[in-house]
Amino acid sequence: MEYTNRMLLKGNEAVVYGALLAGCECFFGYPITPASEIAHTAARGFPKLGRTFLQAECEIAAINMVMGAAANGRRAMTASSGLGISLKQEGISYLSGSELPALVVDIMRGGPGLGNIGPEQSDYNQVVKGGGHGSYHCIVLAPSSAQEMCDFPRLAFELAEKYRIVVYLLTDGVIGQTMETVTLPEPIPARAEIPEWALDVSRPRTNMISSIYLEHDDLEALNRKLQAKYAAIRAAEQRSEEYRTDDAEIVLIGYGISGRLCRSAVDELRTKGIKAGLLRPITLWPFPVDAIRALRHVKQFVAVEMSDGQMIDDVKLAINCDRPVHLVNRMGGNVATIDEIVNRTIDALGAKEA
Amino acid sequence: MEKEKILYGRSNGFFPSFERRPGPIKTNMHYCPGCGHGILHKLIAEAIDDFGIKDKTIIIAPVGCAVFSYYYFDCFGISAPHGRAPAVATGLARANPENLVISYQGDGDLASIGFNHILQAANRGENLAVFFVNNAIYGMTGGQMAPTTLPGQKTQTSPLGRSVTSEGYPLKVSETVAALDAPVYVERCALSTVQNIRKARLAIRKALTNSIERKGFSLVELLSGCPVNLKMNARDMNEFLDNQMSRYFPLGVYKDTAESRDPISRPTGIYEPQAVRELLYPVRVADGVSESFRNPSRIFQSERRIKLCGSGGQGVLSLGYMLATMGKLRNFNVSWLPSYGPEMRGGTANCSVVLSRNPIGSPLVSKECNLLIALNGPSLERYLPTLKRNGILLYDESNGSCPDEVLDRVIYTLPASDLAKQLGDLKYANSVLLGAVAVMMCDLFLDEEDKADFDRVFEEAIMDCFHEKEHVVKNNIKAFYIGKANARRIRN
């Protein structure tokens, strides 16, 4: 029988294919719109490959099951949306304090509270800034297509294991729900190795995983070690994509679906004679500050996001607030049209000049 | 003086010296005199040494005084968030069925903040040994009320005594877990008299044996002393356990079905790349085109945005999916975005399809639509404003008519639903409509060689979607050509 590697997949389906091809061994999750297709696809795909799929009793259980499997040295993941991620934060803090690698997928929906199931990007602060207790960070990748949903799990597991850190894929309901042509990546050549530190029969039983340090100096030492690790990640792992920024006077910054809308908006602004460009962050933590700082010729920035303006703070910090940063946003499940982004950008520039 | 002789030393299940314990004391445990944890630790340590399972045992340290159990046990250790030990244990047990996982929990941990987790893990029959220390009080946090605090018992947070009308009754964990179908073994013991401790020793060994034999979920509840927080001396403590606690929490075996249970078997993961490819990659059904193929017709020089709408159950989403599949088979970048959630569950249905040779910006078609396909009247009216001035409308005249004011547009129609019904099933309406799309494309846009290819790519797409159902493929192809024969352009 002949096989093809091209498929039509929703972002939510693509991420499961990507995870399986990246050697993910365990999926623990709980259904939630608009992320449920991840669990649906995992419920078929993981057992098909003799791997573990388990519908947990709740989001809290799911992340703690991930913690168990991760402690055992297995590639493990969970997926949810805003409300569920809020519940997982305790576990993510423990994973971070215990320096365990894991993959968490967040398909953002409207909030706060029950909100709605429309797409938003309002989990930015809870995912990028920490979200749980303690001084920790997770690496946050921001896929903006089904192809990236499929490609990023491998990168995510590699980063997670290299740095012993939780890696998020953070995207929105539109990317999760949109079906697109995807070229499936190759499966990893062999099962991922069980790390030296793992609690596994193949490793020394003196291995121990904990995030408790009763002595204040010991806990401070752990925190300093974590901060040194985060500094190394900030230096080495910033990722972003630029489009028509070379001669741009104004640069739009957006991730996920907003990043794609911005690309079309940039073309439209150019037809109107405005020298626009796009910077699409691919890592939200670490935020691509070096790439943004390199845009010295740019006069103004526009943060385009589906929240009250959460990412915009990181843009302002990146440039030390030395140039204007405007916000073009929608909330509540609404997605800006290209025209809306173009017109509001023009308005913002006009207001500045006036 | 004669040198001290050790007749009965520390179990090899413990480290010879407690080096993980901070401070100068490396030989003693941190537990208070009279505390049950020390006794239980010893029973567990002896068992894991006697059974020769130290290299595969993982003890989950709870939140509570036993949080530091990893100072002592010579096996793997992990600390879990408060109450979550059964979930962490599930992860460990599922990740590698070789693991022997002990979930060591107190009453606040297991019966209060984590009660759902323990019931769910028990109900799934996870291969775990759970040792549940019930001392009727929160020890480490300083003597607050536990879910197992006895009626009338005074604690820091029930200073007047536990009132059953306010705080409810002590939770009977063993009885509750034993009521579930999945667990294999549930026993309640007391760490009080020598006789009771000997029973506890056997219960612990039985639970671990069940784990080794992969029989599933075992829980041993251990009534245990906390002299400091219960403010009792050793004698009063034993009296409290054996008379007061045991009266409310009767000792004994609540369930034992291990004999009749088959061992749990878990599948082995597949990682060999060729095997993974064969299981995950889709079968190539149609011959398709080479990777370098690009459709020559001018119409596709820019992005084409299509909106499809109708009512739920009409097949709007699958019609869009067919179009997207046809695009995929001819190397377009395509996107297909359905309305999702409650909208999908009855009522209206719509989806957006975009075809492009370049990366697609917005997959949402909310305006500037090039082609609107409407399957009924109300959705036609609702989505007509999204159609571009020079956009094309295709609608099913079986389910509605076109408003007069748009008759100056390019409009194609046919009685798709009626034609499908004549074919024997309404679900063929999609292929009938795609026949109409073919007519429209051939009339207006496609180069000569592309015209024949449209029929080909339709047939390939039908194969791609239904290759396992021969009659479905045949009927859809028939429907497509009926659509082609019946579609007409409305001229004003």
Q: How far is B468 from chain A (nearest CA, A)?
A: 14
Q: Are residues A301 and A164 in the same domain?
A: no
pLDDT class for A242, splitting at 50, 70, 90? very high
In total, how many domains does chain A have? Answer: 2
Judge if A25 and A132 occupy the same domain.
yes
Length of chain A: 354
Dihedral angle over CA of A226, A232, A234, A235, nearest 10: 170
Quick one: average pLDDT of A22-27? 98
A332 located within any domain: yes
CB contact under 8 A, B88 and A67: yes
DSSP A30: -
User: Does residue A1 fall inside a structural domain?
Assistant: no
**Same domain flag for A178 and A72:** yes
Residue of B nearest to A71 (CA): B92
SS (H, E, C) chain B: CCCCCCCCCCCCCECCCCCCCCCCCCCCCCCCCCCHHHHHHHHHHHHHHHCCCHHHEEEEECCCHHHHHHHCECCEEEECCCCCHHHHHHHHHHHCCCCEEEEEEEHHHHHHHCHHHHHHHHHHCCCEEEEEEECCCECCCCCECCCCCCCCCCECCECCCCCHHHHCCCCCHHHHHHCCCCCCEEEEEECCCHHHHHHHHHHHHHHHHHHHCCCCCEEEEEECCCHHHHCCCHHHHHHHHHHHHHHHCCCEEEEECHHHCCCCCCCCCCCCHHHHHHHHCCECCCCCCCCCCCCCCHHHHCCEEEEEEEECCCCHHHHHHHHHHHHHHCCCEEEEEECCHHHHCCCEEEEEEEEECCCCCCCCCCCCEEEEEECCHHHHHHHHHHEEEEEEEEEECCCCCCCHHHCCCEEEEECHHHHHHHCCCHHHHHHHHHHHHHHHHHHHCCCHHHHHHHHHHHHHHHHHHHCCCHHHHHHHHHHHHHHHHHCEEECC
Give the model's pLDDT for residue B347: 72
| Among B residues 207-226, those touching chain A with beta carbons less than 8 Å apart | none
A67 at B interface, C-beta within 8 A: yes
Say yes or no to pLDDT of A284 above 80. Answer: yes
Q: Is the residue at A231 inside a domain?
A: yes
Inter-chain CB proximity B90 and A61 less than 8 Å:
yes
| pLDDT given at position A216 | 95
Helix (H) / strand (E) containing A339: helix A338-353
Which A residues 181-200 touch B at CB under 8 Å? Answer: 181, 184, 186-191, 199-200
* Structure confidence at residue B466 as a pLDDT band (50, 70, 90): confident
**A275/A194 Cα distance (integer angstroms):** 51
Q: Is A210 on the interface with B (CB under 8 A)?
A: yes
Chain B nearest CA to A88, separation (Å): 12
Indicate whether A144 and A215 sit together in one domain: yes
When CB atoms are compared, the residue of A7, A205, A337 closest to B366 is A337
Model ipTM? 0.96
Q: Give the amino acid at B256.
A: D
> Is pLDDT of A213 > 50?
yes
User: Is the Cβ of A24 closer than 8 Å to some Cβ of chain B?
Assistant: no
Based on the fold, state whether residues A128 and A200 are members of the same structural domain: yes
Q: Does A208 touch chain B (CB under 8 A)?
A: yes
User: Is the Cβ pair B94, A17 closer than 8 Å?
Assistant: no
Residue of A23, A51, A56, A60 whose CA lies nearest to A39: A56
Each residue's pLDDT tens digit, B156-186: 999 999 999 999 999 999 999 999 999 999 9
Q: Looking at the structure, tell me whether residues A284 and A205 fall in a common domain.
A: no
User: Which residue in B has a C-alpha nearest to residue A24's C-alpha?
Assistant: B271
- What value does the mean pLDDT take over residues B34-41? 94
Cis peptide preceding A34, ω within 30 of 0: yes
pLDDT at B1: 65
pLDDT per residue as tens digits for the range B377-408: 999 999 999 999 999 999 999 998 888 888 88
Look at B280 and A20 and tell me if their CB atoms are within 8 Å.
yes
How far apart are the C-alpha atoms of A76 and B96, rounded to whole Å?
12
- Do A110 and A221 share a domain, yes or no? yes
Query: What residues of chain A lie within 8 A of the CB of B66, using their CB?
Result: none
Q: Which residues of B touch A337 (CB under 8 A)?
A: 362, 366-367
The pLDDT of residue B115 is above 70: yes
Residues with Cβ within 8 Å of residue B175, at least 6 apart in sequence: B254
The residue from A236, A259, A283 where one domain ends is: A236
pLDDT in tens, A138-151: 999 999 999 999 99
- Write the CB contacts of B361 (distance below 8 Å, at least 6 apart in sequence): A260, A261, A263, A264, A338, B303
**Percent of chain A's residues with pLDDT above 90:** 96
The reply to whether residue A264 touches residue B361, judged by beta carbons under 8 angstroms, is yes
The torsion angle over the Cα atoms of residues B401, B407, B412 and B418, rounded to 10 degrees, is 10
Contact A210 B70 (CB under 8 A): yes
State the nearest Cα–Cα gap between A235 and chain B, in angstroms. 30
| Identity of residue A219 | L
With left for phi above 0 and alpha for psi between -120 and 50, is residue A332 left, alpha or beta?
left
* Distance in angstroms (rounded) separating the CA atoms of residues A218 and A97: 13
User: Average per-residue pLDDT in chain B?
Assistant: 93
Any domain includes A14: yes
Average pLDDT score over residue span B21-34: 91
Report whether B390 contacts A205 (CB < 8 A): no
In terms of C-beta density within 10 A (0-12 exposed, 13-18 middle, 19 or more buried), how is residue B234 classed? Answer: exposed
Cα distance between residue B216 and residue B122, in whole Å: 9
**Residue A334's CATH number:** 3.40.50.920
Q: How far apart are CA A18 and CA A31, in angstroms?
A: 19
Among B20, B56, B277, the residue with its CB nearest the CB of A201 is: B56
What integer is the mean pLDDT of B66-91? 97
Q: Does A28 touch chain B (CB under 8 A)?
A: yes
Domains of chain B (ranges; CATH) run 36-260 (3.40.50.970), 299-490 (3.40.920.10)
Spatial distance between the Cα atoms of B137 and B156, rounded to a whole number of angstroms: 10
| 124-163 in chain A: CB under 8 A from chain B | 145
Residue A110: CATH number of its domain:
3.40.50.970
Return the pLDDT at A175: 97
Place of tokens 């639509």: B369
**Does B419 contact chain A (CB < 8 Å)?**
no
| Residues of A (1-20) whose Cβ lies below 8 Å from B | 1-8, 17, 20
Name the pLDDT band for B345 (thresholds 50, 70, 90): low
A208, A236, A264 - which closes a domain? A236
Q: Kindly identify which residue of chain B lies nearest to residue A212, measuring between CA atoms.
A: B79
The answer to whether residues A246 and A201 belong to one domain is no
CA distance, residue A239 to nearest chain B CA (Å): 19
In a mutational test of the A interface, the residue from B271, B333, B336 whose CB has the highest number of chain A CBs within 10 Å is B271
Q: CA A295, A299, A301 angle in degrees (round to 5)?
A: 75
Q: pLDDT class for A354, splitting at 50, 70, 90? A: very low
CB pairs under 8 A between A and B: 242
Q: 3-state class of A202 per DSSP?
A: coil
Strands B333-338 and B348-356 turn out to be antiparallel
> Positive or negative, the Cα torsion across B74, B80, B84, B88?
negative
pLDDT of residue B289: 83
Calculate the average pLDDT of chain A: 96
Same domain, A347 and A286: yes
How much of chain A is in helix, strand and coil states, percent to nearest 5? Answer: 40, 20, 35
pLDDT score, position A2: 85
CA nearest to B333, candidates A183, A195, A5, A142: A183
Give the per-residue pLDDT at A88: 98
The residue range of the domain holding A300 is 240-353
A55 near B CB under 8 A: no
Pairing of strands A276-281, A240-243: antiparallel
Residues in chain A within 8 Å Cβ distance of B80: 64, 67, 94
Residues of A in contact with B16 (CB under 8 A): none
pLDDT at B341: 52
Q: What is the mean pLDDT of residues A110-122?
A: 95
Q: Least CB-CB distance to A58: which of B22, B116, B361?
A: B116
Which of B316-320, B321-325, B449-453 has the weakest average pLDDT? B449-453
B366, amino acid identity: S
Contact of B412 with chain A, judged by CB distance below 8 Å, is answered with no
Contact residues, chain A, for B182 at CB < 8 Å: none
Residue in A64, A179, A207 closest to B80 by CB: A64
Integer Cα distance of B478 and B481 in angstroms: 5
Q: A residues 34-53 near B, CB within 8 Å?
A: 34, 45, 47-52
Same domain, A159 and A144: yes
Q: Give the percent of chain A with pLDDT over 70.
A: 99
Shared-domain flag, residues A203 and A298 = no
Give the pLDDT of residue B402. Answer: 85
Q: Are A260 and A310 in contact (CB under 8 A)?
A: no
Q: Does A354 touch chain B (CB under 8 A)?
A: no
Is A47 in the same domain as A176?
yes
Nearest to A184 among B20, B281, B363 (CB): B281
* The pair of three-digit structure tokens given for residue B296, joined into one six-digit string: 């020559």
* E-strand stretches of A123-254: 139-141, 166-172, 179-183, 208-209, 240-243, 250-253
Closest chain A C-alpha to B236 CA, distance in angstroms: 32
Half-sphere exposure of A174 (CA within 13 A, CB side): 26
**Domain endpoint, select from A207, A236, A265:** A236
Interchain CB distance below 8 Å, B61 and A210: yes
